[in-house]
Structure 1
Amino acid sequence: MKKFVLILTIIFLLINSALYPAFAITLYPTITAPSGILIDADTGDVLFEKNAHMQMYPASTTKIMTAILTLENANLQDKVIIDKDTPFTDGSRIYVIEGEEFTVEQLLYALLIDSANDAAVALAKHISGSIEEFAKLMNKRAKEIGAKNTHFVNPNGLPNDKHVTTAYDLAIIARHAMTIPKFREIVKTVRYQIPPTNKQTETRYLKNSNRFLWGVGPRNKILYNGKSVDIKYNIIDGIKTGYTVLAQQCLVTSAKKDGHRLISVILKAKGKNIYLDSRTLIDYGFENFKFIKITDAGKKVKSIPIKNGTEKTIDLITQNNLYKTIPKNENLNSIDKIVKINKNISAPIQKGQLLGKVIFKSNEKNLGEVNLIAAKSIEQKKGITSIFYFDDKKRSLLHYFLIIFLIYIIWRTIVTIIRLRKRKNKLLRKRRLARKNKKYFY
Structure 2
Amino acid sequence: MNIRKYLSGVLVVFLFIQMALTPAAVVKAAAAPPSLSAEGAALIDVESGRILYSKNGTKKMRIASLTKTMTAIVAIEMGKLDAQVTVPPQAVGVEGSSIYLKNGEKLTLEELLYGLMLRSGNDAAVTIATHIGGSVPGFTYLMNEKAAMIGMEHTNFTNPHGLDDSNQHYSTPEDMAKLSAYALHNPVFRQIVSTKVKDISWEGEQWDRRLLNKNKMLHLYNGADGVKTGYTKLAKRCLASSATRDGRQLATITLNASDDWNDSAKLMDWGFANYPLQELVKKGQEVKPDTPVTLEAGTHLVTTNDFQYPLQTTETEAIHKRVVMGESTVTSKMNGQLAGFLQLYLKEKMIGQVPLLVSVDAPTLAAPQASRSMWQQFWGIVSGGLWSA
Establish whether TM, by shorter chain, passes 0.5: yes
| Structure 2 residue aligned with 1:136 | 141
Shift of 1:26: 1.9
Question: In the aligned structure 1, how far is the partner of 2:81 from the partner of 2:298?
Answer: 47
Aligned pairs (5 A) from 1:18-417: 20-21=24-25, 22-23=27-28, 25-159=30-164, 160-197=166-203, 199-214=204-219, 232-270=220-258, 273-297=259-283, 299-301=285-287, 317-318=302-303, 320-328=305-313, 330=314, 332-333=316-317, 336-342=320-326, 356-361=340-345, 364-366=347-349, 368-372=351-355, 374=357
Residue 287 and residue 81 in structure 1: after superposition, are their counterparts in 2 closer, same or farther (change >3 A)? same
SS at match of 1:324: strand
For residues 80-110 of structure 1, give each alpha carbon's deviation from its aligned partner in whole angstroms, at most 9, with x where no partner exists. 0112221132211111111111001100110
Question: In the aligned structure 1, how far is the partner of 2:162 from the partner of 2:120?
Answer: 10
Residue 247 and residue 340 in structure 1: after superposition, are their counterparts in 2 closer, same or farther (change >3 A)? same
SS at match of 1:85: helix
| Structure 1 residue aligned with 2:380 | none
Residue 319 and residue 151 in structure 1: after superposition, are their counterparts in 2 closer, same or farther (change >3 A)? farther
Question: In the aligned structure 2, how far is the partner of 1:100 from the partner of 1:275?
Answer: 35
Shift of 1:344: 10
Which protein has the larger Cα radius of gyration, Structure 1 or Structure 2? 1
Instruction: Verify the 8 A CA contact 1:318 1:370 in the aligned structure 2.
Output: no
Q: For residue 357 of structure 1, what is the amino acid of its counterpart?
A: F
Question: In the aligned structure 2, how far is the partner of 1:315 from the partner of 1:241?
Answer: 51
Q: For residue 337 of structure 1, what is the amino acid of its counterpart?
A: K
For residues 53-75 of structure 1, give each alpha carbon's deviation from its aligned partner in whole angstroms, at most 9, with x where no partner exists. 10111111111111111111111
Instruction: Verify the 8 A CA contact 1:361 1:367 in the aligned structure 2.
Output: yes
Q: For residue 369 of structure 1, what is the amino acid of its counterpart?
A: G
Shift of 1:332: 2.6
Residue 268 and residue 335 in structure 1: after superposition, are their counterparts in 2 closer, same or farther (change >3 A)? closer
For residues 206-253 of structure 1, give each alpha carbon's deviation from its aligned partner in whole angstroms, at most 9, with x where no partner exists. 111111123xxxxxxxxxxxxxxxxx1122111111000111010011
Which structure ranks higher in relative contact order (CA pairs < 8 Å, sequence separation ≥ 6)? 2
Question: In the aligned structure 2, how far is the partner of 1:372 from the partner of 1:139?
Answer: 33
SS at match of 1:121: helix
Shift of 1:49: 1.0
Residue 351 and residue 119 in structure 1: after superposition, are their counterparts in 2 closer, same or farther (change >3 A)? farther
Residue 103 and residue 335 in structure 1: after superposition, are their counterparts in 2 closer, same or farther (change >3 A)? same
SS at match of 2:54: strand
Residue 345 and residue 99 in structure 1: after superposition, are their counterparts in 2 closer, same or farther (change >3 A)? farther
Shift of 1:297: 4.4
Residue 48 and residue 76 in structure 1: after superposition, are their counterparts in 2 closer, same or farther (change >3 A)? same
For residues 117-158 of structure 1, give each alpha carbon's deviation from its aligned partner in whole angstroms, at most 9, with x where no partner exists. 111111111111011011111111111111110100111111
For residues 250-299 of structure 1, give each alpha carbon's deviation from its aligned partner in whole angstroms, at most 9, with x where no partner exists. 001111111111111100112xx011111111111122221111113454
Structure 2 unmatched runs, 5+: 1-19, 360-389
Residue 97 and residue 313 in structure 1: after superposition, are their counterparts in 2 closer, same or farther (change >3 A)? farther
Shift of 1:200: 3.8
Q: For residue 355 of structure 2, what is the amino acid of its counterpart?
A: L
Q: For residue 153 of structure 1, what is the amino acid of its counterpart?
A: T
Shift of 1:327: 1.8
Instruction: Verify the 8 A CA contact 2:321 2:343 in the aligned structure 1.
Output: yes
Residue 193 and residue 323 in structure 1: after superposition, are their counterparts in 2 closer, same or farther (change >3 A)? same
Q: TM-score normalised to the size of structure 1?
A: 0.68
Instruction: Verify the 8 A CA contact 2:129 2:160 in the aligned structure 1.
Output: yes
Question: In the aligned structure 1, how far is the partner of 2:104 from the partner of 2:330?
Answer: 60
Q: For residue 171 of structure 1, what is the amino acid of its counterpart?
A: A
SS at match of 2:179: helix
SS at match of 1:368: strand
For residues 305-329 of structure 1, give each alpha carbon's deviation from its aligned partner in whole angstroms, at most 9, with x where no partner exists. 79xxxx999865545432221224x
Q: For residue 120 of structure 1, what is the amino acid of its counterpart?
A: A
Question: In the aligned structure 2, how far is the partner of 1:353 from the partner of 1:125?
Answer: 47
For residues 320-366 of structure 1, give each alpha carbon's deviation from its aligned partner in whole angstroms, at most 9, with x where no partner exists. 432221224x363585421223479999x99987664322246x454
Matched residues, number: 334
Instruction: Verify the 8 A CA contact 1:354 1:371 in the aligned structure 2.
Output: no
Question: In the aligned structure 1, how far is the partner of 2:357 from the partner of 2:28?
Answer: 44
Question: In the aligned structure 2, how far is the partner of 1:200 from the partner of 1:373?
Answer: 60
